[in-house]
Amino acid sequence: MGKEYLGEFEELVLTMVAVLGEDAYGNAIVQEVKERLDRKVNLSGVHVTLYRLEDKGLVKSHMGGATNTRGGRKKRLFTITNAGMALIRAVQEQRMSLWKLIPQLKLVGS
Amino acid sequence: MNNQAPSKFALRFLAWFCPYYLYEGIEGDLLEQFDENLKTMGHKRARRRFLWHVLLFFRPSIILRNNFKLNIINTIMLGNYFKITARTIMKSKLYSFINAFGLSIGMAFCMLIYLYIQDERSFDQFHANKDSIYRMEVKRYNTWKMWSEDEDMFSSMAYLQTALGPTLKEELPEVIMATRYNHGGEGVVTYGDKVFTEDLTYVDADFFQMFSFDVLEGNRKTMLSGQLEAVITPEVAKRYFGDESPINKVIEIDREGKKSFTITGIIAPPPANSSLTYNILIRQENRPYYDRNNENWGNFGCPTFVMLEEGTDMANFDDNLAKIVDKYMADKIANWSLPEEMPEGLAPFTYLYSKLTDIHLNTEIGWRNNSDPQYSMILGAIAILILIIACINYVSLALVTSKSRRVEVGVRKSIGANRSQVIYQFTFESIILAFVSMLFGLGLMKLFLPAFNSFTSKAISLDLQSLSEITIVGILISILVGVIAGSYPSLVLSHFKPAEVLKGNYSSKVKSGFVKPLVVLQFAMSAFLIVSSVIMYKQMEYITTKDLGYDKEQVLVIPTQTGWNDNANTAIKQMRQALSYNPNIVAVAGTSSSFNRGFSLNGYEIDGVEKSAYVYAIDTEYIPTLDIELVEGRNFDENISTDTTAIIVNEALVEDMEWENPLEEYLNWTGDTIGLGFKVVGVVKDFHFRSLEHKIQPMLMSMNKEYTGYLINMLVRISPSDIPATIKEVESEWRALFPDKPFDYNFMDEDIDRQYESYSQWMSIMGLATGFAILISCLGLFGISGVNALNRTKEIGIRKVMGAELSNIFILLNKQYIWLAIVAFAVASPLSWYVMNIWLSDFEFTITIGWEIFALSMITGLVVAIATVSYHAIKSALLNPADTLKYE
């Protein structure tokens, strides 16, 4: 994974795709981020990021079935690929190993 | 209800830029968000929010995904598009011809204008030292008021004191070289038995080192180091020496006395884009009255160029120039009658300078061959006008013929083409057509170039570099034209819904309403050109046929070639004597300056008021020869000795002096402190001694040699019977009397017409442009009316069955075009009226722009338009209804 690099927002979106599982599409991610992290993100930003992740092979997409809401438009549903899963896992592990290196005393003293 | 939906515009915009394969997902998400928003906020805010979010999607990372995809598909489809384009062109040959014809002429014009502008900008750029050479100028307070009221208080000019050049070089360390440059004095040059009149150019030795004209023979550094040396161009050398080497040959130049000059150099002729020209170069010191002028710092007649050291501080140079003014001019300026208060920051006398490369397009300061950058703009505007007219042809023809492409679009769409591909296809088609037109345009440009050169008095030639530049410009123009002209038709054509088109249901009518404004625009442009050229033509006709107050026909103007001395007067007398036995010679007269051959304006003071008058030296024959009308008094008489101090004035001078009885008056115009001045013996009716750009101003005529000078122009009036033979006879008399002088002659009316040369050039350009504009728009109209008549074939058939006459149908089909033409004229008339008034303001004597000019132009335009559309109207009106209706 050495060469792969994820931006903060990319990582967030990728994680969200993983979290939402079968029902990950643009608007759902925006809603989810808003509810869980209380953070406002732009729909266009999310879409662009999703397409970029798809280019990198970290997610893949397919069109969902027809819906009654949203003007009958189909959803573009995203699922995380194995590569994507491996990448966020590696990021997570790196974080943890770095976290452990922080001297704990520092939190107590000033 | 409608408010519950997001704005249609936003959705359409999204569909336009968004890649097709992403569109549904994005649109769905946006709609979902919109529905959410509707619940929590008002519909207005929700709609605004929706638009905002659509705009946020308009970002490179989305749009660029488009191109990526388009490119792949289009390279696949390109071959097909090309094939279809070729077939369409072949199938509708007439329409393709109309389009290609207009576009190629428009492009040829654009390319010519490009060449013109390039040429204008290339002036004087070929000098290696161009960045350090400056032309000196002077800005001074007008000590004697000129005639026109609006004359500036200050005037600027590039004519300086004779001594300035050497003084600057000597006294200012930053001036490393300086040359004076006087061009155009005529002298008679003799070598052996060859005698010609030549233009002489007076310069200093630094000339050859400052400027980069090619020296073909001789040493650039030592040329003109001796006072009696001459440098000539190969053309001059050929005239005198044939194939012999001219170096070290001695020629005689007669200019106020003969002198012998040794030729020490051959210099290449100046390029066409040079502000400096020359044929024969000799030293300044040989200029007539050089010594007198050199000592007089009040005499301005000498253009001067300096070359500054690299890195000169220009502010410092300004200071040094001010010091020169103080040193040499202070005592003169002290005598000027200056106003109480000078305008802020302006000195009565300042030296200025321009970069060598700025001279050509500087219109503030006169220079022999400078030009107005406005011309480039006018020419460019005409070219763009023609190009727009041609583009409109393309758009309107594409729209009215779009019916035939419907099925194609339907089939393409139903087998998977999306809208952007159809757009791309039609744009591609128009670009191909534009390219083909460009190739024809290149050919046309080559064809037009000689004519264009003569219209604009340029010498543009096509070399490999300019040809390749022009090709690149042409390609850029054709892509631009292709995209602009192709965009609207392709948007319309790509709009067809396959299901409707393929079902054969033609109810979805093309909105061809847009065609009408386009045709109006096109016709308005043509109408503008028509009105403008009619006005220009009328004005030129007026000028060339206006009664000038004298008879200019059948008069030969012959320079006496004697120099500014009494020999001139003697020559006139000898010639008159010699020709007096010839029945074909009506009269021989002499004058100091014939029409359009210079003038002399004298300032004088009467009772403290500064006045000025044009002064002409004439002889007793002048007034009768030219048939000038005397309103009071008499002509000069040889036998009355006091007539040498008498004058004949024109009515304008009488009016200026407010004389009641001019014949009892004296005019002291020579600054005589003792006498009364010159007695007025006659008053002539005002005649146009200058061009019609000028008012008739006060002028006086005298036979006094001391003050008015010598008769260096001989006027010979000949009978109109056999002009060439008479000229031969005059020439042989001349050869017998003055074997050492060349016989140069011109017709006076030609001299006079030459004053308006630039105007008639512009008139030809306008005429040509108008012709093409009318031709192109008529071709377009012809195409459109053809399609319209075709579309209404059945209607006409039914009307005829019901009993309509031929004339009814004719009117039915033509009515709309007449309305279009009238609207177009209504739009164009005020505009052309405004523009033409500006043009006419150059002339003091003009036609009045009356309604009849507009009426005339409009009727012409209408007749041409009706003639164009009538072909189709008559053709379809004559069709047998049985033929057109039987397939129903």
Map B644-657 to HEC letters: HHEEEEEHHHHHHH
Q: B623 and B630 in contact (C-beta within 8 Å)?
A: yes
* Dist. CA B784–CA B98, nearest whole Å: 11
Task: Please give the DSSP secondary-structure letter assigned to residue A72.
Answer: G
Computed on alpha carbons and rounded to an integer, the radius of gyration of chain B in Å comes to 37
Residues 6+ apart with CB under 8 A from B457: B761
Q: How far is B435 from chain A (nearest CA, A)?
A: 38
Residues of chain A whose C-beta is under 8 A from some C-beta in B?
A: 25-27, 30, 42-45, 47-48, 51-52, 61, 63, 67, 69-71, 73-76
3-state SS class at B267: strand
β-bridge pairing B280-283 and B194-203? parallel
Q: B280 and B237 in contact (C-beta within 8 Å)?
A: no
Residues 6+ apart with CB under 8 A from B809: B796, B799, B800, B873, B876, B877
pLDDT means over runs of 10, chain B (888 residues): 71 82 84 85 85 85 65 69 87 85 88 87 90 91 53 78 92 93 84 85 93 90 90 92 89 85 92 90 89 84 91 90 89 75 76 91 82 81 87 84 81 85 86 90 90 82 84 89 85 80 60 74 87 86 85 88 81 89 89 81 76 87 90 88 88 88 86 81 90 85 86 89 88 87 86 82 81 86 81 82 85 83 88 88 82 85 85 82 72
Please list every residue in chain B whose beta carbon sits closer than 8 Å to the beta carbon of residue A43.
29-30, 33, 53, 56-57
Q: Which of A44, A45, A74 sits opposite B28 (nearest CB)?
A: A74
Select the residue from B11, B17, B24, B29 to test the A interface by mutation, using most A Cβ atoms within 10 A. Answer: B29
A76: closest chain B residue by CA: B25
Q: Which of A43, A71, A73 sits opposite B53 (nearest CB)?
A: A43
Q: B111 and B470 in contact (C-beta within 8 Å)?
A: yes
Please list every residue in chain B whose beta carbon sits closer than 8 Å to the beta carbon of residue A25.
25, 29
B56: closest chain A residue by CA: A44
Q: Do the chains contact at A63 and B25, CB–CB below 8 Å?
A: yes
Residue A106 has pLDDT above 60, yes or no: no
DSSP string, B589-620: EEESS-TTS---EEEEEETTEEEEEEEEEB-T
Please list every residue in chain A whose beta carbon sits closer than 8 Å to the beta carbon of residue B32.
27, 69-70
Count the neighbouring beta carbons within 10 Å of the beta carbon of residue B883: 10
* Dist. CA B441–CA B106, nearest whole Å: 8
Q: Work out whether the CA dihedral B79, B80, B82, B87 comes out positive or negative.
A: positive
Please list every residue in chain B whose beta carbon sits closer than 8 Å to the beta carbon of residue A44.
53, 56-57, 59, 62
Q: Do the chains contact at B35 and A70, CB–CB below 8 Å?
A: yes
Q: Do the chains contact at A44 and B56, CB–CB below 8 Å?
A: yes
B32: closest chain A residue by CA: A70
Instruction: Tell which residue, B441, B410, B378, has the closest CA to residue B769.
Output: B378
Q: How far is A45 from chain B (nearest CA, A)?
A: 8
* Dist. CA B61–CA B206, nearest whole Å: 64
Q: Do the chains contact at B29 and A69, CB–CB below 8 Å?
A: no
Please list every residue in chain B whose beta carbon sits closer than 8 Å to the beta carbon of residue A23.
none
Render the burial of B789-806: b for 16+ CB within 10 Å, e for the rest: beebeeebbebbeeebee
Instruction: Tell which residue, B282, B294, B258, B299, has the closest CA to residue B185.
Output: B282
Main-chain dihedrals φ then ψ at residue B355, nearest 5 degrees: -65, 145
Select the residue from A25, A44, A46 to test the B interface by mutation, using most B Cβ atoms within 10 A. Answer: A44
Q: How far is B409 from chain A (nearest CA, A)?
A: 26
Task: Please give the DSSP secondary-structure letter assigned to residue B206.
Answer: T
Model pLDDT for residues B704-754, shown as the tens digit of each residue: 888 888 888 899 999 888 888 899 989 998 888 888 788 888 898 888 888
Please list every residue in chain A whose beta carbon sits closer than 8 Å to the beta carbon of residue B7.
none
Q: How far is B21 from chain A (nearest CA, A)?
A: 10
Residues 6+ apart with CB under 8 A from B398: B426, B430, B486, B489, B493
Q: Do the chains contact at A47 and B26, CB–CB below 8 Å?
A: yes
* Size of chain A in residues: 110
Q: Which of B26, B35, B57 sits opposite A69 (nearest CB)?
A: B35
The answer for B684, left when phi > 0, alpha when psi is -120 to 50, beta otherwise, is beta
B33: closest chain A residue by CA: A27
Tokens of B780: 């377009």
Please list every residue in chain A whose beta carbon sits closer than 8 Å to the beta carbon of residue B29.
25-27, 43, 47, 70, 75
Q: Do the chains contact at B33 and A27, CB–CB below 8 Å?
A: yes
Instruction: Tell which residue, B527, B523, B473, has the closest CA to residue B107.
Output: B473
* Dist. CA B880–CA A85, nearest whole Å: 79
Select the residue from A73, A74, A75, A77 to test the B interface by mutation, using most B Cβ atoms within 10 A. Answer: A73
Q: Which of A45, A48, A73 sits opposite B28 (nearest CB)?
A: A73
A41: closest chain B residue by CA: B53
Q: How far is A95 from chain B (nearest CA, A)?
A: 30
Residue B435's alpha-carbon distances to A103, B71, B112, B482, B773, in angstroms, are: 73, 21, 17, 8, 21
Q: Do the chains contact at B29 and A70, CB–CB below 8 Å?
A: yes
Main-chain dihedrals φ then ψ at residue B292, nearest 5 degrees: -65, -45
Residues of chain B whose C-beta is under 8 A from some C-beta in A?
A: 22, 24-33, 35, 53, 56-57, 59, 61-62, 65
Residue B879's alpha-carbon distances to B401, B792, B811, B812, B868, in angstroms, are: 21, 12, 16, 15, 19
Please list every residue in chain B whose beta carbon sits closer than 8 Å to the beta carbon of residue A51.
22, 61-62, 65
* Dist. CA B423–CA B426, nearest whole Å: 5
Computed on alpha carbons and rounded to an integer, the radius of gyration of chain A in Å comes to 17
The count of CB pairs under 8 A between chains A and B is 67
pTM reported for the whole predicted model:
0.68
Give me the helices (H) in B125-249, please.
Answer: 164-171, 207-210, 234-241
Q: Do the chains contact at B31 and A44, CB–CB below 8 Å?
A: no
The residue whose two tokens read 């397919």 is: A62
* Dist. CA B326–CA B333, nearest whole Å: 9
pLDDT of residue B132: 92
Q: Which of A25, A44, A67 sits opposite B57 (nearest CB)?
A: A44
Greatest Cα pair distance, chain B, in angstroms, is 115
Tokens of B557: 């103007």
Q: How far is B43 from chain A (nearest CA, A)?
A: 16
Main-chain dihedrals φ then ψ at residue B133, nearest 5 degrees: -100, 135
Q: Do the chains contact at A44 and B24, CB–CB below 8 Å?
A: no
Main-chain dihedrals φ then ψ at residue B719, nearest 5 degrees: -80, 150
DSSP string, B501-537: HHTT-TTS---GGGHHHHHHHHHHHHHHHHHHHHHHH
Please list every residue in chain A whose beta carbon sits closer than 8 Å to the beta carbon of residue B53.
42-44
Q: How far is A50 from chain B (nearest CA, A)?
A: 11
pLDDT of residue B146: 47
- Residue B628 Cα to chain centre, angstroms: 35
Measured between alpha carbons, how far apart are the two ends of chain A, in Å? 37
Q: Do the chains contact at A71 and B28, CB–CB below 8 Å?
A: yes
Give me the helices (H) in chain A, please.
Answer: 8-20, 26-37, 43-56, 82-101, 105-108
3-state SS class at A34: helix
pLDDT of residue B152: 63
- Dihedral, CA atoms, B613, B617, B623, B626, nearest 10 degrees? -90
Q: Do the chains contact at A51 and B29, CB–CB below 8 Å?
A: no
Tokens of B582: 């010839």
Please list every residue in chain A whose beta carbon sits closer than 8 Å to the beta carbon of residue B31.
70-71, 73
Quick one: three-class SS letters along B663-677? Answer: HHCEECCCCCCCCCC
Instruction: Tell which residue, B595, B600, B704, B594, has the closest CA to residue B647.
Output: B704
Strand intervals (E) in B288-417: 300-302, 304-308, 349-355
The residue whose two tokens read 């060449």 is: B115
Q: Do the chains contact at A76 and B22, CB–CB below 8 Å?
A: yes
* Dist. CA B232–CA B279, nearest whole Å: 6
Main-chain dihedrals φ then ψ at residue B425, nearest 5 degrees: -60, -45
Instruction: Tell which residue, B66, B78, B74, B75, has the closest CA to residue B16.
Output: B66
Instruction: Tell which residue, B188, B185, B227, has the closest CA to residue B204.
Output: B227
Residue A110 has pLDDT above 60, yes or no: no
Q: Do the chains contact at B29 and A25, CB–CB below 8 Å?
A: yes
Q: How far is B68 from chain A (nearest CA, A)?
A: 13
Q: Do the chains contact at B29 and A27, CB–CB below 8 Å?
A: yes
* Dist. CA B153–CA B346, nearest whole Å: 11
Residue A96's alpha-carbon distances to A84, A88, A100, A103, B844, in angstroms, are: 18, 12, 6, 14, 93
* Dist. CA B880–CA B888, nearest whole Å: 14
Q: Do the chains contact at A76 and B57, CB–CB below 8 Å?
A: no
Residue type, B213: F
* Dist. CA B569–CA B152, nearest whole Å: 39
Q: Do the chains contact at B56 and A42, CB–CB below 8 Å?
A: yes
A72: closest chain B residue by CA: B28
